Amino acid sequence: MGMKIDILTLFPNLFTGFLSESIIKRAIEKKLLEINLINFRDYSPLNNGQVDDTPYGGGPGMVLRCEPIFRCLDEIKTPDSVVIMLSPSGKPFKQQMAREISQAKHIILICGRYEGFDERIKTLVDLEVSIGDYVLTGGEVPAMVVIDAVSRLIPGVINADSLTSESFEENLLDYPNYTKPSEYRNLKVPDVLLSGDHAKIKAYREEARRNITKKNRPDLME
Ligand code: ADE
């Protein structure tokens, strides 16, 4: 049980807040998650710790060189490892992908900076992942997104009841929730939720899920 996650990054400190609070912190304490931050600059063979260089063929920006990543993976990759590269050119990250990744014993997340990776690094990679159609300054925030979404699916990390009937189950968004007070500034909780009639509540919620999905994410319903 549990998962080991190695994060290859040039900016390990970006992760410290994320890993030291709330559910992720508790998962690490309970040994359901083991997370290692690896600065791949430490694997540069060049005396100045250089990790990037200008692109062959010309063009703007800097490209991450092969050697630091290859040398680091030589040390940490095993037959059990799933190697994931974060890149805006990757496959879209979805709840189903999070479910599949959550089955792995060991994942290695490679975070890029600059214009991108030397293409040859992809020979080491099992899965290229993008968290959305926008360009970020690096793969660190995407890696946190992947870790967050995957961790909560590992048994014991959160209450299993919280995983049923949430957004993206059955390709629908979640139903709306209300809590006390039943009326606030003239805003009322729908009567059906106070009725105690569980069949009616179930039907209301199913319809609400269809309606919100149609409005905000018609693409999910095809
Ligand atoms: N690196 C930069 N932008 C990214 C994105 N949208 N997804 C994954 N990695 C990225």
Ligand 1 centroid from CA 69, angstroms: 18
Sorted by sequence, the CB contacts under 8 Å of residue 108 that are 6+ apart come out as 5, 6, 8, 73, 76, 77, 81, 82, 83, 84
Helix (H) or strand (E) holding 154: none
Tell me if 131 CB under 6 Å of ligand 1.
yes
Domain residue spans of the chain: 3-159, 165-221
Return the SS3 of 111.
strand
Mean pLDDT of 55-77: 98
Specify the fold of 3-159. Answer: Alpha/beta knot (3.40.1280)
**Range with the lowest mean pLDDT among 75-79, 83-87, 95-99, 111-115?**
111-115
- pTM equals 0.96
Atom 6 (ligand 1): residue with closest C-alpha? 88
pLDDT value of residue 32: 98
Q: How far apart are CA 71 and CA 77, in angstroms?
A: 10
Pairing mode, if any, of strands 33-39 and 3-9?
A: parallel
What is the predicted pLDDT for the residue at 115?
A: 87
Angle (CA) 68 136 76, round 5°: 30
Q: Average per-residue pLDDT in the chain?
A: 97
Nearest alpha-carbon partner for 127 in 95, 88, 82, 89: 82
Q: Provide DSSP, 74-97.
A: HHH--TTEEEEEEEEEEEEP-HHH
Answer yes or no: are the C-beta atoms of 77 and 68 closer than 8 Å.
no
- Ligand 1: residue of 135, 141, 147 to mutate (most ligand atoms within 8 A of CB) is 135
What is the model's pLDDT at position 144?
98
Using one digit for the tens of pLDDT, what is the confidence trace for 198-209? 999 999 999 999
Q: Ligand 1 center to residue 79 CA distance, Å?
A: 26
Looking at domain 165-221, its CATH architecture is Orthogonal Bundle (1.10)
